[in-house]
Structure 1
Amino acid sequence: MIDALAQAEAAVAACLDRATWAADEQDLVAALDAAHRLEQRLAAVKLTLVRELDGRGTATAQGASSTAVWLRDRLRLGVGAARRLVELAALLDATPAGVRDALAGGAVTVEQVQVIADTVKTVHSAAGAEAADKAVGVLVDWATQFDAVLLRKLGTRILDHVAPEVADAAAEAVLRAQEAREARDRHVTVSEQPDGRLRLSGVLDTEAAALLRAAIDPLTTPSGQDDTRAAGQRRHDALADVCRLALRTGDLPENGGDVAQIVVTTSYDGLTRLLGTGTLDLGQQLTPEAVRRLACDAAILPAVLGGAGQPLDVGRQRRLISGPLRRALVLRDGGCAFPGCDRPPRWCDGHHIRHWADGGDTSVANAVLLCGHHHRHIHRGDWAVRLGGDGHPEFVPPAWLDPDQLPRRNHYHRRR
């Protein structure tokens, strides 16, 4: 074997010295096909060697913790590539002889072998050994025409060809298993970046993916010849447009006691003179241009403060009853007003400073934003809350915590 490989290596080295520019196109294509077949045959030889060395325990005998680690050092591979070699070598033992012969003959690739082995295993469990043997021949034939990705897709309907009597039931079982897997694995992660942007990542199930495609695909087409946005930028803008459309419907559920909406805080003079920056209800800053753009949208409510930072005009939306009051609290408190709490407004409830049952009214002067934890904490009665002379909430601790009972404020939500 060593002599044969040495001869093959010398022949390959000789090919590198040939002037390919002098060959005609037909010879170049034939040489490419031959090189590809040789590559697959060498892969089969390599896997056979790895399988034998792994079975003998050569790696551990030479002091390595595993065959993959030994291969990584010996062949200077990445750890992932080394592990894949070991896994594929072990797969050869469970692979039908016809598949191994196809790999050794250069008719299929290592990736296709993986697909064929997985598919044949599925067929065997669904329809038995005879159908699995038929599947090998069909899949090897397909492998001469299709790459590994398409081969895997075609393999999902292999039972139609080798065991049609069980194909429909098996296909339904596969779909149900896939649906259960999708339901288990579905997730979306929203990670806030230090500059206020969000990073989205996740996996959608088939139904949600179809809904997303249907919603954003019509909005991702270039708007004209002067549209220079990249495809990813167009998808970003389409997602934002879908969110705007959803907000305009008024059908979204309440979020913290108010319908879903965007609130931008700015000064009136800055808004009218195109000079003032704005602040979203979660604290991120917006440019003057962005503030003006949002203020022009009838579905996104401009919220204007007077010079002292007190609510001057929180606007109106016909469908809202208590919305303007809540927006005023968001502008004043910025989130949970309890000292040291960083919960944003959307996690908060409106709390009556003087309880409703005791005759307290529903107004900015008698309300404060509190997250669920601190809302329950205040109702236990250990702390007292009031508005200070500047109209902002302050909290008086119990005597056991602070004998002087000095009022405390939340300095986390600074909006000016």
Structure 2
Amino acid sequence: MEKLTDGEVSAALADVVGELSRYLGDVSTGLFGKLTDADVLAELHEFEMLRRRLAVIDHALIAELGRRALAGRLVVASTSALLQAVLRLSPHEAKQRVSASQLCGPRWSLTGEQLETLLPEVAAGQAAGIVSTEHARVIASTLEELPSSVGPAEISAAEQHLVAAAAHLQPRQVGVLGQRILAQLNPDGVLASDEEHARHRSLTLIPQANGSYRVNGRLTPSCGALLLSWLTPRSAPRPAAEEAHQARGIAADSRGHGQRMHDALEELAGLAVRRTELSDSGAPAHVIVSMTADQLQSRAGWAETSFGQLMTVNQALALADEAAISLLVRDARGVVLGHGRTKRIATRGQTLALVARDRGCSFPGCDKPPEWCQRHHIVSWADGGSTDLDNLTLLCHNHHRNFDAAGWRCQLLDGLPAWIPPAWIDPERIPRRNHRIEEGGLS
């Protein structure tokens, strides 16, 4: 195979780059300041047309990568992964470019015959500088919404109409026009067949540079209904103003609706993990986290997961109650000093024993059943606490997240979990138990 590191750009591109360099030189020496107002607007418009036309080159280059199966020859998982490696793109951007190329770029059959572009009008509009990348995405999304009952001729006419509109409308306005076209071609309205819903279903978690994730997707009616029926009652504001809640140290709920929905979804994910774990007696997920020895000791700074995402050291260590976690301890240069202790998940037998003993969340006054609870290490696993019955108790999601900030502490008294309230609730700090654990006991 030819050496892929010795390639040269075409003479045509070299000429373009040379002309562009000269133009950039003129710009840097005040070209625009010498133009009239009308000329500045003309320059702006012409440059935007050029920017839009460049998408055609992008589509063709990416299509050529696919035609040559270059990703496979370089032992890369996909064309998208190849773009990420060569151009230093994010996974999201690389996938968007590949998708755009598949829709608007050249195509070939398995036997090498060239096929028509899937969206020829959009491709022609981009070549003419009429259709922007944003326009193209809106048009493609609109056409994707059309049910399978719509014929090729009607799809082509809709594409032509939308491309023509892109010459004088903003992308959002083109999207509105697209919805009108959808209403005409699908007069029965919003109700699509089960097959259409299944065809459009998707869910993507997109890692962000700050360590968080952005969710993008589309759920089927049944999935959406099930998810909403679960999230809605569990995302209601906590009635913290009630006297009973104040006595248990629960602060006023300042979360917005979106934050409450997020927390309910996190609770659902944790529940799924624990149910799987109970059924197969093994760790449902294994999280690999690396941090420095100083971070492990100080509980400060940022740890990195095997997915390349950052989270605070405290967040990483908190995962120890949800999934198996292995620590890779390294020095400041990144050299691995050793493998930290691997967190051992409570076995099925231990979990069943906790269910029998605690009967649900052990926090005083809580009525959450065992199925809604997490295993909590009384002495933190990160601080050397063992995964044994005399160091474990069941806590619901809410109390597991908030007991420490509220000033509560847990300990085993006579083999049963008891909770020591903060001084502002009880100056004598007399231990309390959940009434289910010991009727007539310390609670």
Q: TM-score range by the shorter chain?
A: 0.3 to 0.5
More helix by share: 1
- TM-score, normalised with respect to structure 1: 0.46
- TM-score, normalised with respect to structure 2: 0.44
